[in-house]
Structure formats: structure tokens, C-alpha cells
Amino acid sequence: MAIMNFGGVQEEVITRDEFSLERAKEILKDEVIAVLGYGVQGPGQSMNMRDNGFQVIIGQRQGSKSYARAIKDGWVPGETLFDLEEAARRGTVIQYLLSDAGQKSFYPTLLPYLTKGKTLYFSHGFSITYKELTGIIPPDDIDVVLAAPKGSGLSVRRNFLEGSGINSSFAVFQDASGHARDKALALGIAIGSGFLFPTTFKNEVYSDLTGERGILLGALAGVMEAQYNELRKHGHSPSEAFNETVEELTQSLIRLVGEKGMDWMYANCSTTAQRGALDWKGKFQKAVEPVFADLYRSVADGTEARIVLDRNSQSDYREKLDAELKEMGDSEMWQAGKQVRNLRPENWNKQA
């Protein structure tokens, strides 16, 4: 365990040097890890654990696209790939990686398989934090833990293959065995985390829902569209507006931020950009603070959870989602983006 100082605030961080893969293997040596769900997080986490030498099986609905994908990824029906119920029966650690709505729907079926001594694992605090809405109340005689990668399932796998790992949070909701913390950390290391930091189920879901709706996805798309549209109003071409709004951010500046931080990125751009950014940063902050306050309240009072469970449980959810995503993809900004991406040097040979 390392104690890190973040601007005067001390936090605990666990690295792979301090909690080794070998230690994780020792803790989980007798466990059969059943990954239920092969959608967003399931593939990356399960393949990383398999490559790390853990006993892993997959539970997925037969006939689904994800079931076919699991076979393509090397999981063998009847050996390491089963339907959801059979995997739950066989597993001693149940990694519950269905969608939030899917977790609510399947839980009555899962419950009989959550027998004494098992471990129920989440990568999101949603179902436990909003248990009044989901009905997910685990039996008292099992461990309930969380390891939540701070990135997409694709990043979990990609970072693992590159050797860097991904940052993850971990938490214990219920410690029936007296060893739940060690299990949570071992599973976090098993899935390929570079380091882990402690949280609670509640804090994980509050920060996650706020981040997804805010700077990570919702706010990012919204401010991009606002700037792009403003440039287009004043006669800037689609390619110019897209390059100044998206391409320079994703291909240059955000990489500098990721490398050493925002202050370092500021220090390595033009003096004109520095001055303008410093002058306008506070104005943008004040403009969006009320929006973030409303967003956090909506997360904390359960409004966002109710919306998710209602919308994502509808029979035509996928069709409606596809229509919304198509509308975004068909917009001028993202059509311009397709053309601009085709002009990147790495795509030149593909066009030849």
C-alpha cells in the first residue's frame, strides 16, 4: 500500500508491485470465476484473467451476438462457455457484468446460485446503491466486492496487451468471509489493473454516472457540437470547424494532458493559446457549474437510475438507441470527421 498526496489530501493506492499477480493467484487459486455477460466489460476482463492464469468461465445467453463473439475469442461451449444459469452454478466468484437493466432482470434467477461462501463481484456500484430500484439485495453469507476499471472494456484489454494496465477503483460492500478486501484486490489485479484506489459502491456510481453524463461523454459531445456549430454559422468550412473542434484535441492536445497534465499542456502551446485559455477557462467553469450541480443531484436522488432502468428495459430500446446514434453519426460534424480521419497518414494506404 502506498499513500499518495494529492494537493494535500492523502489517499491509499495499491500497485502491482505491492499486490503482485502471484499473490492474487494464491488468493484465488481455488476459485472458479464465472463472468456473467460478454458485452462491454466482459470480454476484456475475462480474457485478461485467462491470460493471467486464472480459472475463468463465461456465462452468456445462447444465440446472442455476444455468445458468438465469445466463441470467436476462444471460449469453448460446454467447457469454458455456458448459459448464464450454468455458469452461475459452477462459479464460486460471480462477476456480474450484465448491463444495469440486465442485472435487475436476471437477479431473481441468479439468487438461488448465490450460496454460502461465494463472492458476488461488480464493476459498477449501480445495482447495490440503487437496490430499492433494482431489487438486488445479496444474501448475508456471501462476499460482495467491486473492482471498477476507469475505462471502456476495449481499453481494459488494450492496456493489458500493451503492459500498462488500467486504473481501477475497488470496494467491499459485504465481508462475510473476513477476506473480502483481499479478494477485491486480487480480482482487480487479475483483470489487469495497473493500480487500484479505494472507494465505496455509492461513491463509485455517483462519480461514474456524473462523469459519463458530464465531461467524459455528454458534456464533451455537447460542447463540441456548440463550438462546431458556432464556427459554421460564421462561414468556416466543415473541415476547418472539425479540425479546430475535435481533431486537434484528440490527436494532439489531449495526449499532452494525458502525458503530464493540463498545466504542462498549457506550457507547451503558443503564448496566444495560453493567454486565451487562461482568460476563458473561468468563464466556462462558471457557465457549467450549475449544470453539474443539477446533474449530481439527479444522480444522488436516483432520477438517473430510474431513467436508465426504465429506458433500457423497454423491448424496443435497441432500436431507439440505434436511431439516436444514427442521428448523431449522420450530423454534418461527424460526417466531416469521417472525411478528416480518412486523411490521416495511417489511412493513406487504405485509400490506395
Give catalytic residues, as residue numbers.
Answer: 124
For residue 255 the three cell numbers come to 495526449
For residue 174, the Cα-to-chain-centroid distance in whole angstroms is 22
| CA dihedral (40, 43, 46, 52) positive or negative | negative
248 is in an annotated binding site: yes
168 labeled binding residue: no
Distance CA 136, CA 148 (A): 18
Rounded CA-CA distance 240/228 in Å is 9
Q: How many CB atoms lie within 10 A of CB 66?
A: 16
Q: What is the CB neighbour count within 10 angstroms for residue 142?
A: 19
332 is in an annotated binding site: no
- Angle formed at CA 50 by CA 46 and CA 51, multiple of 5 degrees: 120
Q: Is 208 annotated as a binding residue?
A: yes
Give the residue ranges of DSSP H helices in the chain: 21-27, 42-51, 65-72, 84-90, 100-110, 126-129, 131-134, 153-162, 180-190, 201-213, 218-233, 238-242, 248, 254-260, 262-267, 271-300, 303-312, 317-329, 332-342, 348-351
Extract the annotated binding site.
208, 212, 244, 248, 270
Extract the annotated binding site for substrate.
270
